[in-house]
């Protein structure tokens, strides 16, 4: 008895059709078994790749009994199936992949910035709050010191006035200048107080918001 087994003559078109039919059946089974899967699901993608490889292996084994009649020299069932597989595989987009990589890197950088801000913002706000408060207190202390230093001079001048009624106009000019300077400083401080209070309130509000954000 002859051990020769005739091969099944098949065209590339028929082989492609067989592959398409089997793939559609497999894809439908996957969709049924994994109804919640998506194109971005890594597990689903891995399963799909394994099934595609399984389909190729099966058809390649079956190719031992097939004769692709319209194939060129050196063309095998495997090479035909590989060409068919390319039709179902999206070409790798280098430009798109680079854009995705950059966007992902930007997202990571922003995440680091937000984490740093959450750690450092409370200290920065407290420092600014304290700075504004100290600045106002220093200005008030400076004015008080200025007023204190001017008092002895005025008292001495008053004593001289009692002893000597012939005070010159220069004395009164000095007195007027001293009081005028004090009044001007008082007005400047008084004008600055609302501004400092407003800044302190905003800083206090900002600090409260940051503390709440860090606590969550």
Instruction: Please give the Cα distance from 118 to 130 (Å, whole number).
Output: 19
Dmax (CA) for the chain in angstroms is 155
Instruction: Please give the Cα distance from 136 to 193 (Å, whole number).
Output: 8
Q: Give ∠ CA 49-51-56 in degrees, rounded to 5.
A: 95
pLDDT, one tens digit for every residue, the chain (216 residues): 344 457 788 888 888 888 888 888 888 888 887 766 555 566 777 777 788 888 888 888 887 787 778 777 767 777 777 777 776 665 555 676 677 778 878 888 888 877 777 677 667 666 776 777 677 677 766 766 665 565 445 445 555 555 555 555 666 666 666 666 766 766 666 666 666 666 666 666 666 666 665 555
Other CB atoms within a 10 A radius of the CB of residue 77 amount to 23
Which two three-digit tokens encode residue 99? 């854009």
Residue whose C-alpha is closest to residue 122's, from 215, 44, 48, 26:
215
Q: Give residue 89's pLDDT.
A: 60
Which two three-digit tokens encode residue 144? 């008080």
Q: Give residue 4's pLDDT.
A: 45
Q: Give residue 2's pLDDT.
A: 40
């Amino acid at each position: 008895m002859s051990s020769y087994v005739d091969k099944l003559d098949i065209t590339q078109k028929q082989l492609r059709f067989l592959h398409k039919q089997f793939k559609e059946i497999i894809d439908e089974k996957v969709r049924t078994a994994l109804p919640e899967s998506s194109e971005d699901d890594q597990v689903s993608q891995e399963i799909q790749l394994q099934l595609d490889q399984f389909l190729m292996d099966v058809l390649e084994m079956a190719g031992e009994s097939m004769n692709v009649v319209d194939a060129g020299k050196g063309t095998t069932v495997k090479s035909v199936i590989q060409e068919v597989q390319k039709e179902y595989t999206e070409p790798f987009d280098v430009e798109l992949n680079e854009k995705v990589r950059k966007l992902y890197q930007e997202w990571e950088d922003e995440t680091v910035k937000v984490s740093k801000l959450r750690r450092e913002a409370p200290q920065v706000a407290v420092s600014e709050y304290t700075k504004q408060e100290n600045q106002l207190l220093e200005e008030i202390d400076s004015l008080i010191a200025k007023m204190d230093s001017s008092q002895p001079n005025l008292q001495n001048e008053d004593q001289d006035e009692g002893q000597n009624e012939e005070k010159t106009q220069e004395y009164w000019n000095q007195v007027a200048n001293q009081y005028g300077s004090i009044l001007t400083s008082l007005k400047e401080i008084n004008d600055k107080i609302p501004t400092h209070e407003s800044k302190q309130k905003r800083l206090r509000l900002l600090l409260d918001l940051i503390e709440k954000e860090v606590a969550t």
